Structure 1
Amino acid sequence: MKDIGYVVNYEILNSKDFGLPQNRERVVFVATKERKFDFRILKTTSQFPTLREFVCKSGKFEY
């Protein structure tokens, strides 16, 4: 890619950093014509829902 005039850069991204409930790392390559892609502009989220948010509190369950 560099030989034909592209600026290539890469970053290891994890799907958990984008709000998905899985831990999957992937290498992402971005090739542009003029300047490097800034991976810092990607909006990541580090908030994971807790188990308490999913537990039904109004039901009468027997365990």
Structure 2
Amino acid sequence: MAEALRQRGVADRLAGLAAQAAWAAFHQAAQAWIDDSSRSLDAHLRQAFDDLRALSASVPPAR
């Protein structure tokens, strides 16, 4: 993933960070799916990436 981003002109530092963040989100979603298979892996992936997006926002989401 990092290499694909680099080939699209993303700075090396940012490409590496994005790849690591994506791997972490996938790992989180896979573990959540193992723990709760009543929801699809896709649903857990969407939740993990939504959470990651919320963390990077300037205002934390309300719970």
Q: Which has more helix, going by share of residues?
A: 2
TM-score by length of 1: 0.25
Give the structure, 1 or 2, with the largest relative contact order (CA under 8 Å, sep 6 or more). 1
- Which of structures 1 and 2 has the bigger CA Rg? 1
